[in-house]
Amino acid sequence: MTDVNAQLSFTHTVTERFLRYAVIDTQSDPASPTCPSTEKQKDLGRLLVRELQEMGVGDAHVDPHGYVYATIPANTDKHVPVICFCSHMDTSPDCSGKDVKPQVVKNYRGGDILLPADPAQMIRIADNPALKDQIGNDIITTDGTTLLGADNKAGLAEIMDAAYYLINNSQLKHGTIKILFTPDEEIGRGVDKVDLKKLAADFAYTVDGETAGNIEDESFSADGVTITIQGVSAHPGFAKGKMEHAIKIAARIIEGLPKDASPETTEGRQGFLHPIGIEGALEQTTLGFIVRDFADEGLKAKEDLLENIVQQVMQDFPHSSYRIEIKQQYRNMKQVIDRHPEIVDYAMEAIRRAGLTPNKASIRGGTDGSRLSFMGLPCPNIFAGEHAFHSRTEWVSVQDMEAAVRTIVHLAMIWEERA
């Protein structure tokens, strides 16, 4: 076990890999109807496949939808569950990912980090308390003009490096390991075209978490709600006692929302009710909401509350009507993952063996893993080390990436050991 850590501490290839992937523009585009949403994501996919094939992973390929699949064959006689490691190749549409120029700040001494091309984009310790745990580490940032894309290219580099290590150290026993790299995660379509039959894995881990040592087995449960209000139109000069203005009804509904259940007033395990769009005129107005909670009952309670507010408001508008539509978006993956406690237990043990303190956490959002879990592939999220993602102040440390590589290697071995 210590041998693995010692040996891995002399390979710094994860950083080289990361820097190679970070400069390839893979921004996804929510307005595009195609899959992948941007063809350039395949540039990175093809590079990853080439590198996998050079390692000897013969079946590595990019499919027409931009997904990368690969298999590291088992090197044990034991019957071990097939484990998949998964990361996404795209970067967020919220911030440019073109011409990324990474810098490595060696032996970080504390304090704010200057970004050379834009002094306004300093990485401030006040906004990044996690920097306090990085003293003496090497921190990778951009020049301040783009995002870094450690979300999720750190994960790609870590999985690739772990694969390289496993393949070149046949004395380390493991079952069949699957690799899955997805496009378009940032626009919510990361698993739309995944072929789980072809992947043929029993359990999976996304490597897309923040702080080193974290494992996340819980995500939000999420619904979208649309409320359509039908008002009563009349000529404004002769509207007294007749007009019922749909925009004004909508405004009353928004005003009635609980102040303590919105994104800007909640954290931790609290859910929220959040208007995301309004569109309309006098006669008809449509309101869009997203509803989030860790418990399905909490989700239902928030939706009931919303409908109550609507009914209350509508009492003052007797000739108007409303329609409410609720659409399921995704569910808390814990419901699925808890049926197989070993998935998280082994990950916690792997994190420990990698020399870190494991920390079980929940995600205030969804991941590819939330949807994969409900598609039949239970999939918690382990740390990749990415911080301040989707921004120009994004950063990742070399040492956290190396810790993630160790974690993946140990995890593969633990599944074999316990089989």
Residues that bind Zn ion (CB under 5 A): 151-152, 208
Q: Which residues pair with 228 in a beta bridge?
A: 286, 323
Going by their DSSP bridges, the two strands 321-330 and 396-397 should be labelled as: unpaired
- Sole residue written with tokens 């549409």: 93
Distance of closest approach, residue 162 Cβ to Zn ion, in angstroms: 18
Q: Are the C-beta atoms of residues 372 and 409 closer than 8 Å to each other?
A: no
Q: Which residues pair with 285 in a beta bridge?
A: 229, 280
Q: Are the C-beta atoms of residues 3 and 409 closer than 8 Å to each other?
A: no
Distance of closest approach, residue 182 Cβ to Zn ion, in angstroms: 10
Distance of closest approach, residue 214 Cβ to Zn ion, in angstroms: 13
90 catalytic residue (yes or no): yes
Instruction: Please report, to the nearest 10 degrees, the dihedral formed by the alpha carbons of residues 349, 378, 181, 57 taken in order.
Output: 70
The continuous run of DSSP H or E covering 88 comes out as strand 83-88
Which candidate in 90, 218, 244, 416 is catalytic? 90
Distance of closest approach, residue 70 Cβ to Zn ion, in angstroms: 20
CA-based nearest residue to 176, from 78, 87, 80, 48 = 80
Which phi and psi angles does 125 have, rounded to 5°?
-65, -30
Rounded (10°) angle between helices 398-417 and 150-167: 50
Distance of closest approach, residue 102 Cβ to Zn ion, in angstroms: 18
Distance of closest approach, residue 2 Cβ to Zn ion, in angstroms: 32
25 catalytic residue (yes or no): no
Tell me the residue ranges of DSSP E strands in 150-240.
Answer: 177-182, 203-209, 214-219, 221-230
Q: DSSP assignment, residue 173?
A: -
> What are the structure tokens assigned to 155, written together?
């994960």
CA-based nearest residue to 97, from 53, 40, 156, 177 = 40
Conformation bin of residue 149: beta by default, left when phi > 0, alpha when psi is -120 to 50 = left
Distance of closest approach, residue 154 Cβ to Zn ion, in angstroms: 9
Q: Which is nearer to Zn ion, 285 or 393 (CB)?
A: 393
Which candidate in 138, 158, 185, 202 is catalytic? 185
> What are the structure tokens assigned to 91, written together?
């970067």
The residues that are catalytic are 90, 185
